[in-house]
Amino acid sequence: MALRPYRRKAQFYETDGMGIIYHGNYIHWMEEARLDMLEQLGWPYEKVRAAGLDFGVTETACRHLGMVRFGDTVEIVMTMPHLSPARLELGYTIADAATGEVRAEGRTGHFFWDMERQRPVALKRAEPALYALLAELAGEERRGGDPWTGRK
């Protein structure tokens, strides 16, 4: 299964007083990339919510390595360092789409939430089809493949 990287053009309103993208926007972009991944898997966020599930956030981190400015386009490639029935960790590499220069690296941690019962849930039990898709992506990475490019 090959997924495409998430592409995002930096907008003027995302800049700060120095004319560069405000650091908090990188976290927003990582969230957008995660939702894009779900959509590519055939599980857009609306479908996840309709199934009575959500993704709780346990942590976010972002290391800034270079500046993104207004008008730049970035590509966000994701990895899945950890998947269990109850938890998910995603990694993000944010690179300039034209040069490939890495501008930031980040990660987010998540747990799966049963909206009806208002408690954490094992995704493997609650929605086996979605869990299987995520496990397939994680498995491709562990075997040395890149699900975002299809390369081995």
Average pLDDT, consecutive stretches of 10 residues, N- to C-terminus, the chain (152 residues): 91 92 96 97 96 96 97 96 96 98 98 96 96 90 58 52
pTM above 0.85, yes or no: yes
Considering 16, 36, 114, 146, which one is annotated as catalytic?
16
Kindly give, in sequence order, each residue whose CB lies less than 8 Å from that of residue 108, ignoring residues fewer than 6 positions away.
Answer: 30, 31, 34, 57, 59, 60, 61, 89, 90, 92
Active site residue 16: yes
Domains and CATH numbers, the chain: 6-141 (3.10.129.10)
Q: Supply the pLDDT for residue 139.
A: 82
